Amino acid sequence: MSDGLPEGVERRPYDGRERLATNGEPVYGEPTDSDGWRAWDAGRSKLGAMLELEMDTGLDGGETVLYLGAASGTTVSHVADFAGPTYAVEFAPRPVRDLVGVAEDRDNLFPLLKDARDPSSYAHVVEADVDCLVMDVATRGQATVAIRNKQFLADDGRLLMAVKARSEDVTAEPDDVFDDVVSDLESEYEILETARLDRFHADHLGIVARPK
């Protein structure tokens, strides 16, 4: 599509302002319209911010997705609205309680209480050759997590990653942290595009990459 948005994601007016939206059951009190579309708040979603900034995510809609760092399911609920089978991995029990609620309203969302740093704990559930690996994990070693999870990604699949500078090192300059993460990733991934998400998320870098 010319606007770079996948099928199933549209810009629609809410209160006179064009916003990203997907069609599905509301999850977090977001505005909805009468056709069942609900606004996707880029300020609460790094992937939303990446789409809003027109990064070339390679998403067309209908993909099989592995989402790491699903938290309470805010973003992954939108992903499940436009994607195909969507595996949502999150480590902390408290947010997963909400994530399960989000999954109950959807046919294609599979919640998993697992640790993204340990892929063998979910490789018996998540299928091989997913089209898209979304990563939003607030842990140290974000590049390592991406590399360990490369095994799930199809050869022509995409890694969509939001790096949080403060998770790596709260005292370092974000730019230095991003350089380190990108250079670590380059051992296993070809970086296609990077963009600062600061308009929506302070000290975050969006990365689009594909496996080498």
Partner 1 sequence: MTDAWFAGVDPDDPAAGATGVREGHADAPADWPAEAVQGGFAADESEYYERLREATIEATRDEVAEREGADDVQLTHAVRAMDDAERTANELAERVVEWAGTLYEDVPRGLDGVRDIADRDPTTPAEERVVSYATRAVDLLDERDELRTFIEERAPSAAPNLAEMAGPVLAARLISLAGGLDKLAKAPSGTVQVLGAEDALFAHLSGRASSPKHGVIFTHEYVNGTRPEDRGSAARAFAGKLSIAARIDHYSGDYRPEVHAELTDRIETIRARAEEGDE
Name the residues that contact partner 1, by CB under 8 A. 71, 85, 91-97, 99-100, 103-104, 107-113, 120-129, 138-139, 151-152, 166-167, 170-171
| Closer residue to partner 1, CB minimum distance, 25 or 53 | 25
Q: Pick the closer one to partner 1 by CB: 32 or 167.
A: 167
Q: Is the CB of 39 or the CB of 137 nearer to partner 1?
A: 137
- Which residues does residue 8 pair with via DSSP β-bridges, in sequence order? none
State in angstroms the smallest separation of the CB of 126 from partner 1. 6
Helix, strand or coil for residue 192? strand
Could you write out the DSSP letters of every residue in 130-166?
A: EEEEEE---SS-HHHHHHHGGGGEEEEEEEEEEEEHH
What is the 8-class DSSP label of residue 84? Answer: S
Q: Least Å distance between CB 3 and partner 1?
A: 30
Cα 135-140-143 angle, rounded to 5 deg: 50
Taking the complex as a whole, how short is the minimal distance between the CB of residue 1 and partner 1, in angstroms? 26
Residue with Cβ nearer partner 1 (52 or 168): 168
Q: Residue 18 or residue 104: which is nearer to partner 1 going by CB? A: 104
C-alpha pair distances (Å), 180 with each of 94, 183, 188, 205, 206: 31, 5, 14, 12, 14
CB nearer partner 1, residue 37 or residue 77: 77
* Cβ 102 to partner 1 shortest distance, Å: 10
CB contact at 8 A, 141 and 181: no
Six-digit token pair at 72?
A: 């309470």
Contact (Cβ atoms closer than 8 angstroms) between residue 76 and residue 109: yes
Provide, rounded to whole angstroms, the least separation between the CB of residue 122 and partner 1: 8
Q: How far is the CB of 32 from partner 1 (least distance, A)?
A: 24
> Any idea what DSSP says for residue 200?
T
